[in-house]
Amino acid sequence: MSGSEKMRSGLTRRGFLKATGAVGALAAVGGGASLAGTAIADGNSDDGFETKVCNCTGNCAGHCCLEVDVKDGKAFRITSAHYEDPDMDQCCLKGLSHLQRLYDPNRIKYPMRRVGERGSGEFERISWEEAIAEICENWKQAQKEYGDDSILFFPGSGNLRSDTGVGYDRLRLLIGATTAANSYDNNGMTGMSDSLGYCNFIGNDWRDLRNADYCFVWGGNTTESGVGRFRWINQARKAGTRFVCIDPVYTIFASKCEEYQPVRPGTDGLLAIGMMQHIIENDMHDKETLTKLSVAPFLVKDEDGNFLRQSDLDPAVMAAKMQAMEDGTIMMFDDPVMVMGVDGTIAAAGATNDVELEGSFNVQGYAVTTAFSLLLERLEEWDMPTIVEYTNIPEETIRRYADIFANNKVTLCTGYGPDHYVNGYTFYHNVCALLMVSGNIGKSGTGTVGSDMSQPGNGWGLSNTYTVPENAKEAKTIYGVDVPRVIETGTDGESPLVIKSMFVYKGNPLSNNSNRLSYLAAWEKIPFIVDAEVYMTETAKYSDILLPVTHYFEDECVHAGNTYIRINERAVEPAFEAKGDFEIAKLLAEGLGLGGDMSYTREDFNRSLLDNDLAKTAGVTWDALKKNKIMKCWPEEFVMPDGSTTPYSIYGQGSYFSTATGRLQFYWENPAPWSKFGEYDARRECLPQWFEPDGSWYLSDEASRFPFMFTTERSKYMIHTQFGTLPVFQELEPEPIVKINNQDAETYGIQTGDYVRLFNDYGDCTLKAVVNAGCQPGMLVMDHGWQECHFVDGHYNNLTSNVQAPRYAANNWFDARVDLEIVR
């Protein structure tokens, strides 16, 4: 069978209406989707349908809960499920289109073996027994000849269910295989979590946004990337919250804001520095927040940049600390950070609030400085004229925005736009510091919203003890962005690492990673590649063995992603010969002689997830969840430090933040590099900073040869490369486009509808041009999520580099420049 044919929409308007209206007939033969269904209560209806509760678990992190109406073993209709709190009901067009995904002819139906060239999409059908035997024989041989770490597990983030990765993680540790850890959006996710605490953009409940005076939309476009969450933005607008958008592109979200301010790409972090400077220079910084909630008064040792701790001053405490390290109990050892009292005495942080915020001191021979004083020194490295020039924002605007932050309740609504540059993490570090300096954290109407729908986040009350077996082997971790370097050099940056087999699951790395051509070259050097996948993706076509995986609606599991825990029922039986990821992991373990170490059934696993005190306190057990389907797991109200109550979760409401210190951290103690490739200065990384982006910078050498910066924007019809091949969306967005400013279009003689070739030293890409004045001059904007088969030629990730800063191993998709030419 061939999968190399270009995918183009052939759906007419009449066909679209049939797909969205005449769903019963289409679903019976495996197609169609109802975009406007009827709610069915109590599990059954008068017309003989049975209603199942399922979830859309793609990585938009919307976690929409759905009702799927089933009859005669077929799914017919999809609607939003109903919560006890109707304010939580949500579902976007992607969720409603799952019938077309469930019955997509592009699904991988059987285990298959490649018979043509890699990338040809030519496979032959084989049995599960043959597939497992061939994979396990290859892995055993690789272990014998090259070592356990010669097998690479390469997961993605395409399915956020609780059951999809755990079996593979356990199997990997039993084997001792290497893992290619996530490199997507690490600048943003980890830059914020290191500063504020760990979660999916941890912050206040989205519904608290209505209590903000201002919302700064900075680097996100929720109208497209978080469609289901935009209703809370509209509620806030009606309540009087004013919206300011800072973005290089005039997005749909920008059009809904009271003010739009373009910024030069890659300079968002520098803008945050300028705003902090103005706030502090005018003595508007929130000293109470900085003193009580942040690391600002912590004493930092000049000699190594680490915090001064009690063990540094007390030999007995140091001896106990050394013993704890030897015993392996160091994680539970209490070694308080020290602060300087205003009376000149040294105390443990938290023992007193009468502390020095600024100053340098000598404590028992240690030269120390407060973290806040170090922040002040760092901020002095940039002057306002430079900030104005680089950001291309007027000084009066920068100062006015700083005044707004200092004198109002401001919520930051961000996304991953600034993430995609080598210096991307500096924005998240810096903007979190701005929240601390202005006091916009830990209170109603402040903090952050963005990726997830509410503060509880994905995984509340789920205790996964299954992943790590007692007999786990030591296993290496590299990062996905480093895979081409590892394959090319035969090292992980420090020690030899030769990859001879690769197992891909939950992702489509050949479409989604930056510098795509380097991945294609790496793929050719890996002798054996296996992909466990639902659909015939680009990565699947370049694999040697394909294992068919179930759709979301074909397996039972537990799902958490907002203030409720929900069941994901098996709405229909697995199609063709598809199996769940959990079951595939068990089959592979049995084939390797490790079945005894993976004896859990799916039922065992689901039950174990809720076997913990937190879930029990909320009355949530597996048996209760099977009965009730959707169970509230969050309190009705929250008590704030001042005794007031709020119906919404406010991050930091107990004056505690889930960071290494339990406080807000603009100073990162001893930050270690994730990647082993590249030079690294740990002392530099401790504090907010900014440096120029790499290949995209307007003053770089590349700018003279390649006049355009480029970025991509999310589509409301796709989650990365998911959903893009569905007929209902192919009619609405049939092919990728690149937007170009009208002035640049006139210079190049380009009109809407022309096809243009974008190119640079990395590669090229041919697609349709659309003239759009919302793009800045000298900047191109492409829509995100398309695969190779959708382009006339090439792929937009052929234009991108995998240059990175070692701090967070991350894909920096936007850090390159291009030129273009008309091709037809």
Q: Please give the backbone phi and psi of residue 177, each rounded to the nearest 5 degrees, phi first.
A: -75, 155
Q: What's the confidence (pLDDT) of residue 25?
A: 29
More confident residue, 638 or 446: 446
Task: Kindly tell me if the per-residue pLDDT of 23 is higher than 70.
Answer: no
Q: What is the pLDDT of residues 374-416, one digit of tens each?
A: 999 999 999 999 999 999 999 999 999 999 999 999 999 998 8
Compute how many other C-beta atoms are within 10 angstroms of the C-beta atom of residue 398. Answer: 23
Rounded CA-CA distance 451/413 in Å is 9
Report pLDDT digits (tens) over 165-185: 899 999 999 999 999 999 988
Report whether 521 contacts 92 (CB < 8 A).
no
Element containing residue 530 per DSSP (H, E): strand 528-533
Mean pLDDT, rounded, of the chain? 89
User: Residues 695-701: contacts with CB within 8 Å, 24+ apart?
Assistant: 695/801, 695/803, 695/815, 695/816, 695/817, 696/265, 696/266, 696/421, 696/814, 696/815, 696/816, 696/817, 697/266, 698/264, 698/778, 700/817
What does the alpha-carbon distance between residue 194 and residue 436 come to, in Å, rounded to a whole number?
14
Predicted pLDDT at 46: 56
- Strand extents, DSSP E, 95-224: 112-114, 123-125, 151-155, 178-181, 214-218
pLDDT greater at residue 546 or residue 41: 546
**41 or 447: which carries more pLDDT confidence?**
447
Q: What is the mean pLDDT of residues 144-153?
A: 98
pLDDT in tens, 133-142: 999 999 999 9
For residue 20, the model assigns a pLDDT of 33
pLDDT in tens, 94-141: 999 999 999 999 999 999 999 999 999 999 999 999 999 999 999 999
Collapsing DSSP states into helix, strand and coil, what is residue 733? coil
CB 569 within 8 A of CB 557: no
Name the least confident of 342-351, 401-410, 609-618, 754-763. Answer: 609-618
Give 239's DSSP letter.
H
Mean predicted confidence (pLDDT) in 432-442: 96
Structure tokens at 137: 């024989």
Reading the block at residue 125, the tokens are 């059908």
Helices (H), 423-478: 424-438
Q: What confidence score (pLDDT) does residue 457 get?
A: 42
* Three-class secondary structure of residue 353 per DSSP: coil
At 460 the pLDDT is 57
683: pLDDT confidence band, cut at 50, 70 and 90?
very high
How many other C-beta atoms lie within 10 A of the C-beta of residue 526? 17
**Which candidate, 426, 512, 400, places its Cα nearest to that of 219?**
426
pLDDT of residue 45: 57
Quickly state the pLDDT bin for 30 (edges 50, 70, 90): very low
pLDDT category of residue 14 using cuts at 50, 70 and 90? very low
* Residue 607, pLDDT above cutoff 60: yes
Residue 710 dihedral angles phi and psi, to the nearest 5°: -145, 155
Q: What percent of the chain has pLDDT over 90?
A: 69
Q: Which residue has the tokens 């509620």?
A: 235
E strand or H helix at 780: strand 779-783
